[in-house]
Structure 1
Amino acid sequence: MKDTIYSRRPGLIIGFHGCDKSVVDKVLSGDDILTTSTNDYDSVIEVAHGMNERAGFPPYDSVRSIFWEGDELYPGAGFKEKNHIQICVRNPNCIKGFSLPREIDYEFPNPQQRTK
């Protein structure tokens, strides 16, 4: 992985499930669009949307949830090793655009490496 502004930030991981570099390049250049996921694990959110629809509520445009995973960092911490937040955007009109993190320009100071 190239050294980017985002790769230097401890604890911050930006990921796009199921997207390799060729997909990223095509979407950013406008040669392709993102397609709806067909992964089995996505069915959980679809069940929730089905229940919502049957209850007569409008569909969700997007949902966000925290996932508590891994061992506790220390007893009583309330945080685990692999806690993370995921977002599911069901309405593509809610995506206003895409961006690609740029590489760090080493001719300038890296704000993530500055000392206090």
Structure 2
Amino acid sequence: MAISIQYWANYTAEKPKLMRKSDNAVISNHVLKFLFDQETKTIHSVIQASMRNTSYKVTANLGNSYEVSNTSCECPLGKYECHHVASALLYGYKCVSKTDIKCGWLKNTKTSIKKDIKTMEE
């Protein structure tokens, strides 16, 4: 689990309809794409609309104290709290795998070339 359930709980606090709709979207496999960047603590996701043949791009920035600091969604309610963002947060808790987390290259690899090695001729 890469994302704490606390982000979803704080985002949907005292909004049972938002909780229910986001849970239904995750159960119904409406989360089409999901990527979590640990460095910037940003979620990029694509969520299928519940009653249409449409999908919406979702972005959510996670804060340090389990708050969602900034969100965007292409849906009509995207400027406010929508269930697509809540679905991405819940999916990040329930279904995230290592392949959903953006990889970064290590700066100091374990197999780096040693400088003190000499060739046969030396």
Give the TM-score normalised by the residue count of structure 2: 0.23
| Higher RCO (C-alpha 8 Å, min separation 6) | 2
More strand by share: 2
Give the TM-score normalised by the residue count of structure 1: 0.24
